[in-house]
Homo-oligomer: A and B are copies of this chain.
Amino acid sequence: MTTEARRTEEPARTRLRPLGPGQARIVDGFLAERQRVNREATIPHGFEQLGRAGPLDNLRLAAGGDGRYRARADTSGATFPFLDSDVYKWLEAVGWELGRGPDPGLAAAADQAIALVAAAQRPDGYLNSYVQVVGDGVPYRDLAWGHELYCVGHLIQAAVAWQRALGDDRLLAIAVRAADKVERDLGPGGREGVDGHPNVEMALVELTRVTGDRRYLALAARLLDLRGKGLLGEGRFGAAYWQDHLPVREAATVAGHAVRQLYLDCGAVDVAVELGDDALLAAVRGRFEEMVATRTYLTGGLGSRHRDEAFGDPFELPPDRAYAETCAAIASVMLGWRLLLATGEAGYADAVERALYNGVLSGVSLSGTRFLYVNPLQRRTHRAWEPPGHGERAPWYPCACCPPNLMRLLSAWQQYLASSDDDGVQLHQYASADLEADVAGGAVGLAVRTGYPWDGRVTVEVTRTPERPWTLSLRVPGWSRSATLSGPAGAGARSAGPGVADLSRRWAAGDTVTLELDLPVRVTEPDPRVDAVRGCVAIERGPLVYCIEAADRAARTELEEVRVGQPIVEDTRRDDVAPAVIGVRLATSSNDEVDAIPYFAWANRRPGAMRVWIPTGDGEAPA
> Residues 302-333 of chain A: 1 if any B CB is under 8 Å from the residue's CB, otherwise 0?
00111100001111101111000000000000
Contacts of A304 in B (CB 8 A): 321
Q: CA A148 – CA B398 in complex, angstroms?
A: 28
Contacts of A535 in B (CB 8 A): 534-535
For A533, the closest partner residue in chain B by CB is B531
Asked if A560 lies at the interface with its beta carbon under 8 angstroms from chain B, I say: yes
For A615, the closest partner residue in chain B by CB is B534
For A244, the closest partner residue in chain B by CB is B385
Q: CA A383 – CA B314 in complex, angstroms?
A: 11
Which of B74, B240, B383 contacts A234 (CB under 8 A)?
A: B74
Chain A residues 500 to 530 lying within 8 A of chain B, measured CB to CB, are 527-529
Q: CA A383 – CA B315 in complex, angstroms?
A: 15
Q: CA A301 – CA B312 in complex, angstroms?
A: 21
Asked if A38 lies at the interface with its beta carbon under 8 angstroms from chain B, I say: no
Asked if A49 lies at the interface with its beta carbon under 8 angstroms from chain B, I say: no
Contacts of A528 in B (CB 8 A): 615, 620-622
Chain A interface, number of residues (Cβ within 8 angstroms): 56
Asked if A73 lies at the interface with its beta carbon under 8 angstroms from chain B, I say: yes
For A560, the closest partner residue in chain B by CB is B529
Q: CA A536 – CA B237 in complex, angstroms?
A: 31
User: By the criterion CB–CB under 8 Å, are A387 and B75 in contact?
Assistant: no
Which of B306, B315, B536 contacts A305 (CB under 8 A)?
A: B306
User: By the criterion CB–CB under 8 Å, are A321 and B319 in contact?
Assistant: no
Chain A residues 225 to 249 lying within 8 A of chain B, measured CB to CB, are 233-240, 245-246
Asked if A78 lies at the interface with its beta carbon under 8 angstroms from chain B, I say: yes
Q: CA A76 – CA B622 in complex, angstroms?
A: 45
Asked if A12 lies at the interface with its beta carbon under 8 angstroms from chain B, I say: no
Asked if A79 lies at the interface with its beta carbon under 8 angstroms from chain B, I say: yes
Contacts of A129 in B (CB 8 A): none
> Residues 382-423 of chain A: 1 if any B CB is under 8 Å from the residue's CB, otherwise 0?
010111000000000000000000000000000000000000
User: By the criterion CB–CB under 8 Å, are B527 and A622 in contact?
Assistant: yes
Q: CA A622 – CA B293 in complex, angstroms?
A: 13
Asked if A553 lies at the interface with its beta carbon under 8 angstroms from chain B, I say: no
User: By the criterion CB–CB under 8 Å, are B622 and A531 in contact?
Assistant: no
User: By the criterion CB–CB under 8 Å, are A380 and B145 in contact?
Assistant: no
Asked if A375 lies at the interface with its beta carbon under 8 angstroms from chain B, I say: no
User: By the criterion CB–CB under 8 Å, are A319 and B531 in contact?
Assistant: yes
CB distance from A234 to the nearest CB of B (A): 7
Q: CA A76 – CA B144 in complex, angstroms?
A: 8
CB distance from A238 to the nearest CB of B (A): 4
Q: A76-B236, A77-B79 are in contact. Are A531 and B320 (CB under 8 A)?
A: yes
In the A-B complex, the 6 residue pairs with the smallest Cβ-Cβ separation, listed nearest first, are A238-B387, A76-B236, A306-B307, A313-B380, A534-B535, A245-B385
Show the binding face of A for B, using Cβ within 8 Å. Answer: 73-79, 142, 144-145, 233-240, 245-246, 255, 304-307, 312-316, 318-321, 378, 380-381, 383, 385-387, 527-529, 531-536, 560, 613, 615, 620-622
Interface pairs (19), CB distance under 8 Å: A74-B234, A75-B235, A75-B236, A76-B145, A237-B387, A238-B385, A238-B386, A239-B385, A240-B385, A245-B385, A246-B385, A306-B307, A312-B321, A314-B381, A318-B318, A318-B321, A321-B321, A531-B613, A532-B532
